[in-house]
């Protein structure tokens, strides 16, 4: 059988693409290598998805999944390893087999670079996204770990919400653009802690107690905060598809407004693509655009 659309990744972007392609009358196979819902399934609380004042990430993901399945999308729990071009279709090669489809939506999302000592406290005071979770720390004290543009921007964003923000970096000097650095210097409630790494973390008094080790031979310090934001960068999950799509220096996939890549019939949606805002709403928006564009592409074959 040749499916109309193969969707790779059952995060919000991929599941939305499946919904739109099914509603356009196309057969859909949806691949997922880990767990349904992608990143958001790990979040205990979502407060910025329109239509829900407060919902757990898992409940939100399950709702979208049930909707996609009720419309007739087929799920394949398997990791896609590559996409090969064939005569008039694409062959989706996964760990346990191969499936053919006329169009493909890559919605593989990203992984956040982890900070080993705090990983055990994910969802219990440790976050990877200031826009997502910053409001939970309104008026409180947080730490941001990282030294690049993302870390500095997250610290600036949090400074407008939190009472105090510690910005912890293992080196001297941050690797952010000049304009971003100027905004950082203008924030009186950001305390820059350079030449330090987080060596240990534990739960304490409703927050997190960090041990900071010096990279220049000073003594260890303890730092008590309400929350920790890890901003060490992203790893988009696109590398397996480099033969068909353009990938930038940060690993993100290039595409046009309709989510089309350089290969006709291959689309990208969600956090894995180049864009300014990586949120649930934009993942869903990409999924809608890619699902509809894939259906239109098939109609034109």
Ligand X SMILES: Cc1cc2nc3c(=O)[nH]c(=O)nc-3n(C[C@H](O)[C@H](O)[C@H](O)COP(=O)(O)OP(=O)(O)OC[C@H]3O[C@@H](n4cnc5c(N)ncnc54)[C@H](O)[C@@H]3O)c2cc1C
Stretch (H or E) spanning 280: helix 280-299
Q: How many angstroms separate the first and last alpha carbons of the chain? A: 17
Give the pairing of strands 227-230 and 126-127. parallel
Q: Residues 2, 24, 33, 209: which binds ligand X (CB under 6 A)? A: 33
Select from 279, 290, 292, 294 the one that contacts ligand X (CB under 6 A). Answer: 279
Does 107 engage in binding with ligand X (CB under 6 A)?
yes
Note the Cα 200 to chain centre separation in Å. Answer: 25
* Contact call for residue 75 and ligand X (CB under 6 A): no
Neighbours of 120 (CB within 10 A): 11
Check residue 227 for interaction with ligand X (CB under 6 A): no
Q: How far apart are CA 268 and CA 291, in angstroms?
A: 10
Name the residue nearer to ligand X (CB basis): 8 or 165: 8
Count of residues engaged in binding ligand X, rule: CB under 6 A = 36
- Measure the CA–CA gap between 159 and 248, rounded to whole angstroms: 30
3-state secondary structure of 296: helix
Stretch that binds ligand X, among 5-13, 192-200, 204-212, 260-268 (CB under 6 A): 5-13
Is 272 a residue of the active site? no
User: What residues are paired with 247 via a beta bridge?
Assistant: 253
Site string for ligand X, 136-175 (x = CB under 6 A): ----------------------------------------
Annotated catalytic residue 4 = no
* Strand 2-8 versus strand 28-32 pairing type: parallel
132 is an active site residue: yes
Whole-number minimum distance, CB 137 to ligand X, in Å?
A: 13
Of residues 10-29, which lie at the interface with ligand X (CB under 6 A)? 10-14
Q: Which is nearer to ligand X, 8 or 118 (CB)?
A: 8
Name the one range near ligand X by CB under 6 A: 108-116, 143-151, 159-167, 218-226.
108-116
Quote the CA–CA distance of 79 and 5 in Å, as a whole number: 17
Give 11-35 as a DSSP string.
BHHHHHHHHHHHHTT--EEEEESS-
Do residues 139 and 123 touch, judged by C-beta distance below 8 A? no
Among the listed residues 21, 75, 132, 201, the single contact to ligand X using CB under 6 A = 132
Give the CA distances from residue 76 to residues 213, 243, 290, in Å, rounded to whole numbers and listed in that order.
Answer: 45, 23, 20
The least distance separating ligand X from the CB of residue 278, rounded to whole angstroms, comes to: 5
Which of 227, 191, 230, 223 lies closest to 209, judged by CA?
223
Rounded distance, CA 172 to CA 13, Å? 38
Applying CB under 6 A, does 238 fall inside the site for ligand X?
Answer: no
Residue listed under structure tokens 């279709």:
89
Which region among 40-48, 141-149, 246-254, 290-298 touches ligand X (by CB under 6 A)? 40-48
Q: Which of the stretches 38-46, 161-169, 192-200, 258-266 binds ligand X when contact is defined by CB under 6 A?
A: 38-46
Q: Is 255 in the site for ligand X (CB under 6 A)?
A: no
| 129, 180, 213, 235: which one binds ligand X (CB under 6 A) | 129
Assess 271 for contact with ligand X (CB under 6 A): yes
Binding site residues, ligand X, CB under 6 A? 8-14, 31-34, 38-40, 42-43, 46, 48, 79-80, 107-110, 128-129, 132, 237, 240, 270-271, 278-281, 283
What are the catalytic residues?
Answer: 129, 132-133
């Amino acid at each position: 059988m040749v499916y109309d659309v193969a969707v790779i990744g059952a995060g919000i972007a991929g599941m939305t693409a499946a919904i739109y392609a099914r509603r356009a009358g196309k057969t859909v196979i949806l691949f997922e290598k880990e767990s349904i819902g992608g990143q958001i399934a790990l979040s205990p609380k979502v407060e910025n998805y329109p239509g829900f004042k407060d919902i757990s990430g898992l409940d939100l993901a399950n709702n979208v999944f049930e909707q996609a399945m009720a419309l007739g999308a087929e799920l394949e729990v398997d990791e896609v390893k590559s996409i090969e071009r064939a005569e008039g279709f694409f062959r989706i090669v996964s760990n346990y087999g191969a499936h053919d489809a006329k169009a493909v939506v890559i919605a593989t999302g990203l992984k956040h670079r982890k900070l080993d000592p705090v990983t055990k406290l994910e969802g219990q005071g440790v976050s990877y996204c200031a826009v997502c979770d910053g409001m939970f720390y309104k008026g409180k004290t947080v730490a941001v770990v990282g030294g690049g543009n993302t870390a500095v921007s997250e610290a600036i964003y949090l400074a407008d919400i939190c009472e105090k923000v510690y910005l912890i970096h293992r080196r001297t000097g941050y690797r952010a653009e000049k304009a971003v650095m100027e905004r950082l210097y203008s924030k009186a409630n950001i305390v820059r802690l350079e030449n330090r790494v987080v060596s240990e973390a534990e739960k304490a008094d409703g927050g997190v107690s960090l041990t900071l080790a010096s990279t220049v031979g000073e003594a260890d310090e303890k730092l008590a905060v309400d929350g920790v934001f890890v901003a060490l960068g992203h790893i988009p999950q696109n590398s397996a598809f480099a033969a068909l799509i353009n990938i930038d220096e940060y690993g993100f996939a290039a595409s046009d407004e309709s989510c089309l890549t350089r290969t006709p019939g291959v689309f990208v949606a969600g956090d894995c693509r180049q864009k300014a805002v990586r949120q649930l709403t934009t993942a869903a928006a990409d999924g809608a655009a890619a699902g509809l564009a894939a259906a239109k592409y098939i109609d034109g074959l």
